[in-house]
Structure formats: C-alpha cells, structure tokens
Structure 1
C-alpha cells in the first residue's frame, strides 16, 4: 500500500513537471536561436554598411582586415563579395576570387533580399547559422556580406539548460518522494497494525490490539471500533467455548446414567419387551454420539488449529489395518493402493478422524462381497503452475448418491432417504471442517464402477508456496518444520468417531 501511494504521488508530480519543463525547454531553445539569429543579422547589416562605405571611398583594400577583426570579435566566418558575386575576401581564405552569384543566399542578397538560415557544414564541424545581407539598398547592390556561425556553443548552452531542468525535476521528485514516503508510512502504519490484529484475531486470540492514537482520524476511529469488536468477539467466543465445555459435562453424565438405568431394566423385562429396550438403547447411543459430534464441531469452529506435516500413506495404512476387522464381520474387503511417502499439511489427528468417518460411512452402505478402496494419488491443484496436491480417495461399491444428494451430504443432520437410522448426520460435516482446517477440500463424486468416491485433497508438506499461503496459521520452528499443536476440538471429534468404531464391535 505504501508503494502504491508513493507511486501515485510521484506519477502526478512527474506529470506536472513534464507539463511545465518540456514546454519551457522547447521555448527556451527556440528563443535562444531566434535571439542569436537577430543579433547575427544586425551585426552582418552593420558590417555590410561599413564595407559599402569603404568601397565607395576606394578603400576596398581594407576589407580583409575589417572582415578578420569582425570574425575574431564575433567568432564567425566572414565573406564579402562584390556586385557580381565574386568573393573579395574570406576569413577562411577558401573562396577568395570565386564566383558565388549562383549560391541561393548570395543571389537573394544581390537582389536586395537578406537570407538567414541553418545548414550542415562538415568543415565547421556540424550545423551552422548563415546570415547573408546586401551592402546598401537600391537598384544596384555594391557588395554582399555573409557571416557564418557554428551552432555548437549555442546547442551546448541549450543542452546545459535541459540538464539543469532535469536536475531540478529530479530534486523535486526526490523531495516529493521523501515527503510522500513519510505521509504514506503514517497512513499505512495503522493499516498494517489492523492487518496484524486481524490475523491474530483469526487465530482466536488478539494479543496486540492496534493503537488508536496514530494515523488519520478515520483510521483511529476504525482501530477503536475494531478493538471493541474484537474484544466483544473474544468474549463471545470464550463464553461459547465455556458453554460447550459445560454442556459436554452436563449432558454426558445424565445420558450415561439414563443408559445404565435402561440396561438395569433388562433382567426384569418380559421377552416381548426386549426389542423395545434394544431400540431405546440404540437411540440413546445415537443421541450420545450426536451430542459429542455437535460439541466437537463447535470446538473445531472456535479453536485455532494449526496444520503440521503428516505422513499420509502411513496414516492410511494404519486406519485400514484397524478397520479391516470390522469390515470382515460384514464380509467387506479394504484395499489400499496408490502413491507412497506422501507428506501433506493436516491438523494433528485430523487425518485419522477423516478416514474413520469416511470408512464408517462406506462400510455402512457396502454390500457383502464388495470392497472399499483407499487410494492415494497426486494431481496439480490448479494447473502446472500451482503446487501439487495429494488426493485421498475412499471408494465404495454401494448404491451411491445422486448429484442433489451429494450437494446436501455435507449439511448437518442430513441423511439419505434410504439411510439407516443409527447415523447422526454429523460425520461428513465434521470431515469437511477438519479438511478445511487443514487447508484442503473434500468432495463427493460418482465412482467409475458405481458407488461413491469421497475425495480429500490436501497440499504437499514440501510445498513452500502452501506454507507461505497459510501465513500466520502455520507455526514453524527455526528449521522450517511446523510445531505440533493439540486442540480440544480434534480430541472431541476423535471421541465422536470412536463411538462409531465401538458400535461396530461384536457383542
């Protein structure tokens, strides 16, 4: 922002300087040439009058001395021709005795018409100014005087003026740049403080609130409003976290007590009421999982969770080995395939819970004799110019979902019309929350051979671009490795998934 403000000021000042200095420089160059031409013409006319007088008195022999004296005084080359255009004297001694009546300027002067102009003269070292005037007025012109001046000194003077204008312009730009930089810093310093405070607030804790006594009044008021809002938001978040913790404790105890009381009824119930008791216990278990899932989601949304580098294929292999026993009970196989030695950015403990939720859903809909595939692949994120990502595919061979169902599957409490009644509708929302906290994305796609393909995309941990993109959300040590952080939200989410795993164990 400082650079943009400074560039805008400098662009405006540069435009003003160009508007003022360029016309002035052009005007100065033209005026100097015009003044020099008028002075040379006046001097040539004076010399021509003197030469005419000397020739009238028969003193033509004095013309060479007179021409040399004038040439030394004005720094010009002087040529005097008679009424026929024959050169009488030339300070350069190159044209004495030659007939120049055919020269345009000499011919004009013999017709009593002065000639002034510029031309290139290699012998003079560049462009020259010539002034040719008649010596007298009337029908007969007794003599013609031509004076030639080198324009090099005049151009050097004009160039020096251009350099002076450029130096003045650069000085003005430097002064404006210094003043603009100071002003821009005074404006952007509160903005940077607000940016830092916003980043801290995004992490869940505002430790360095922006100062309210620096910068323009508008930014001071904005900083004060932001500080009040952040303080209020932190208070609300703390209250919500305290509420979630308190509710977790208050609900878990009565639910556990109610479950024990229902189980104590079992010896005293008639056989015909056993099914009703099992149904009540199943609903109680489902209610317990739902409460734990809601509290886990609340903690995930309110906690500052930092990703770290995780070995994806190792986690996949570990979870597949754990779930194989439960899958064998339903005669469903679990197949692991794809890339190895893949490290991705993920919230600590999130990958395990993501895979547990997806495997639980896949196992619930997989018919006996089918298999669930866990495949790890790699793909560019948005083309070859962006960091590649790792994709985890959890593919089942169940009935699958329609496009509309896949769009709604991540909504809380949503379940398919043909789904069983022991689900809570919180597994996929929890998966999406964990994947987003890890900086990735999750989608549901149609499997090639039928069924559902749950695709989890996470960025490589080796990708420096992704690490920089996480900004303050990734805490790294001096070696560039992310530090490990634990959160209550992740632990609670693991408890919710753990209940599903326990539910599948044989009694």
Structure 2
C-alpha cells in the first residue's frame, strides 16, 4: 500500500530548482500564522471566546445586582453572606465545533401578564442596563420567571420557547451562536471570516434565595477578524512588505551559501568527468556541510587523478612486461617457420626451451596481475579475524630450514587481528620469500602490540635494499631480479592487501639486510 503511494507521488513530484524550494519554504513558513488565523480560525476563535467571556462577566454582574435590588435592601455587615468559591468559567462556544443556530426568532404574543416584582426590578435596573449597553455595545434584555420580556421593543411578549431561555429558567447559564440577520458586509474579504455574520447570545438566570426570579438575555457580535485587519491595513501592508523583503534577503544568503556552491561543484564534477581537473572556489559564506562536501570532492578528485595515473603507468608497465616475452616467442616462431627444416636439433630444442620459458613468464605475469587486481579492489570485511601467532608459526614451519632459518619472538597472548587469515599469510609469505630469494640466511620476526595495532617486524641478514631503490620498492613491476624470473608485483600485492584492512606496510631503516614492518589493527571487539 505504501510503496505504490510513494511511486505515484514520485511520478508527479515536480523537480524544482533549489532556489525555488528555499524561497517557497520560507514563504510558506512566513504564511503559517496567517493561514492559522484565516483558515484554522485560531484568532477568530479567540475573539469569539473573549466576547463570550465578556458577556458572561456582564451577565454575572448584572444578575448579582438585580438579585440585590430584588431583595430591596443593600448588603449589611451583619447580613449572613453565602460562601462563594471563585473559579474560572470555561467558554462553551467554538467556531469549528459549535452549531450556528438561525437568527433569534421574534417573541410571541402571550396572554400572561408579566410578574409585577420583576417588572419593578427592571425599571430600577434600567439605568445600569443603559450604561452597560453604551460601554459594551451589548443588547440586554430582561425576562421574568415566565420568559416574558420586560424591556425592549418586544416587551410583554414571550421568549420562553427559546432553548437558551429554557436553560436559564431551569437555572443554567448558557451561550449559543446565532446568525446575525442584521449583518451587512462593509469591508473587502469579510466573507472569509465566519465570525462576521454571527451573534453570541448568553442567557443567565437571576437567583434570589436559590430561586430563579428572572433571566438576563445578553447578545453581542464579536469583533470580526477582517474588521481588525481592515482598520490596521496600513500596518499589515507594511509588515507584509517587510517580511517579503526579509525573505528575499534570506533566500539570497542561502543561495550564496548553499545553491551557488552546489552549482559550482556540479560544474567541477562535469569537468572532472571530461578529464579536466577544475578546483571550485571555496564560497565566502561557508556552511559546515558544504565545506565538508568541498573537502570530499577534493579527496575524490585526488583519488581519481591518482587512479588515472596509476592506470596509465600500469598499462605502460604491463605492455612493457609483455612485450619482451612476446617478442621472444614471435622471433622464435618466425625462425622455426623459416629455417626449421635446416636447423640442427640442438638449436631447435634451445628455441623451444626459450619459447617455453617466455610462455611461463607470461603465465606467471598473468597470475600475478590477477592477484594484484583482486588485492586492489579488496575491501576488508568488518568481521575479519586472524590469529597472528598461528599464522607466524605456520610460516616458520613452511619456510624454515638449514639454509634459511626463521626466528619468532612473540608474546604469550595476542588479541585477534582485524584481517583475513589468508591475506595476512600471503603478505608475510611474500616478505619471507623475498628475503630468501635475496640471499638471506636468517629472518627474525617480532610480534608486538602497539595501542590498537599489532606490529610485525621482519628483519633479514641479506644484502638489503639499495638506497636508490627504496622509493620504488613498492611500485608495480619494479624488480632487481628480472633475470631470475621476478615480476616486481609481490610487494605491490602485499601493500594492496594490507591497505584493504586499513593497515600499513613500510620499509624501515636497518644497519644490515632489509627490515619490513607490517602494522595491522586489532579486532574492535577484543
């Protein structure tokens, strides 16, 4: 289910320039507050709830005042006041959840007469009602215990059937949202605001000695969102312009710090693919990731350049190494073809021996080249383990003899090496075989632990390496014993093998003979 959805999104996802994505992201983030205010109605909801809280506060104050007036006496110090527990009243309405009822219906005629006491209370409270209306712009209506209006244009008529009035007559204060039939749009874009065309109605009971003696019905239109926006349109336009200018500046900074360096790196990559090395200029505004990317690009370019030179040199060396035996074989074949019948048996046998030797040299070169190729592309496995003590013991048993002795100096316990056993054995065997072929009669092998590495020193008593050859000893095809059949690939293969396991193979200074040092990391879990 998820995979097809991802594939469908990927097919239709637009491929945009990074500059456009940066600017679009910034604009989207900047527009989130406005989106929340308009479409999620966060700000409008806050205004509506604040209006409800004000109506509730007005109703509570007026209802308490009406109760005092109903008793017909002021509060005296010796009057036993009831204990009051103060608490915040939670608002009830929500623009996203509360239903919006139709406009309040007109009061209906009734034969019932208003309660005389409630009517007298209304007359005494009218100055307070008028002062409150002037200040809060709220509509304040008072009803008796029968739901009959006691003031306003519809006084004497009944609103007892109204749901909010029923709830208040039952002793419960309630707030509802109703459509405002007197609403008329006066400002542009008011239609986007849901709060512009509604009116809050709050019905609150008037209690005297725990008895409901009347109801206060207050109503008010909330201050609509777009009314406030329209009044502050100048400030809003200036703020939008300032924000957009700031976004452009931020986009320019990000483009200079991210987009332009990436584009420069892309151009340098294309040039590198064409064989031209172009070093991109480091940007003046640096980002940590971009700076790391430039360093990685330089390392990659150096590695490619090094590998290219290696391949060119390798191809030249291979052609040179193959040319001599191939020339010998071709010449011998040509002589045998031209003069084979007249050639003495001894000469024919000599030419055939030379051809066989050249063919064997070619076969040996091919085998060593295959070993070098495998060593060059080898990547050491993270779980590779080898026991250096057992590998060295096997080497001493295989190569030690009367004319070539191998002496081992090892500690009793050595942690496992993070290297394949066959690779370690091949490296050590190559070094020991080179010492033997060079004419050495003794090879001293020392194994030690240095920090997180194992160090194997192999020192022989042979003629050593000439000073002029020390820098080239690990180059492919370099050998001083070509006449004896040397290919010059042994040390190259050994170094490639040790490099695959993040180790090192070096030629150390020595008074006599050759001294090679193999350094290999220990296994991490030991």
Q: With structure 2 as the length reference, what TM-score do the two structures score? A: 0.36
Bigger relative contact order, structure 1 or 2, given CA contacts below 8 A and separation 6+?
Answer: 1
Q: With structure 1 as the length reference, what TM-score do the two structures score? A: 0.37
More helix per residue = 1
